[in-house]
Amino acid sequence: MSSKVNIAGLYHSHRGDLVNYASNIVGDRSKAEDVVQEAFIRFDKAAGNENLLEPLAYLYRVVRNLALDTKRQLTREQGRHVDDNQISLDQAEENRPSPETETGDRQELKRLQTALKELPERTQIALEMHWFGNYTVREIAGFLDISVGLAHSLLVDGLEHCRGRLNREAEKN
């Protein structure tokens, strides 16, 4: 089977789920459609250059990353637009966390990303689907082709691992 057939099969089988996943992150269905299109373009290039062992998991990561980038971009753009009825920018109180808080949050995010990378791939997918895609345990179980109980266990184990990792790192600092 060539990579084109696999990509077309993945597209037809999982496009709707991927759009829903991206839509939950981005908050805009039309933007989510764009994200999924871009993800498949990037996926096609990557699949041609390397042998992907878990193509669907890789595709979900690409969609997640693009959706998060799109959400950040939309947030920045919304911040730039000022309605005439709103107060002027000079009068606006800055609504940002302090630099210390931002630095601490970035460090915590890096620790969380490290903790996620330590997990088995199936557990990572389950957590990402639940956290970023707002999928239910039953939907995750169906996607991973496992029982609902096992899907729940993956989520609990993954969450405990991430929480423990963050707590251990916090105690060091």
Over residues 128-149, the pLDDT tens digits come to: 888 888 888 998 999 899 999 9
pLDDT in tens, 36-49: 888 888 887 777 66
Task: Supply the pTM of this predicted model.
Answer: 0.48
pLDDT in tens, 104-114: 778 888 888 88
Rounded mean pLDDT, 86-96: 54
123 vs 72: CA distance, rounded Å:
26
4 vs 17: CA distance, rounded Å:
20
Specify the range with the lowest mean pLDDT, choosing from 19-23, 27-31, 104-108, 141-145. 104-108
For the domain 100-173, what is the CATH code? 1.10.10.10
Pinpoint the residues of the chain covered by CATH 1.10.10.10. Answer: 100-173
User: If you average pLDDT over every residue of the chain, what do you get?
Assistant: 80
Rounded mean pLDDT, 1-25: 76
Q: Alpha helix (H) ranges present in the chain?
A: 3-26, 29-49, 55-80, 99-118, 121-133, 137-144, 148-172
Q: What is the pLDDT of residue 76?
A: 80
pLDDT in tens, 65-87: 889 888 888 888 776 655 545 55
46 vs 44: CA distance, rounded Å:
6
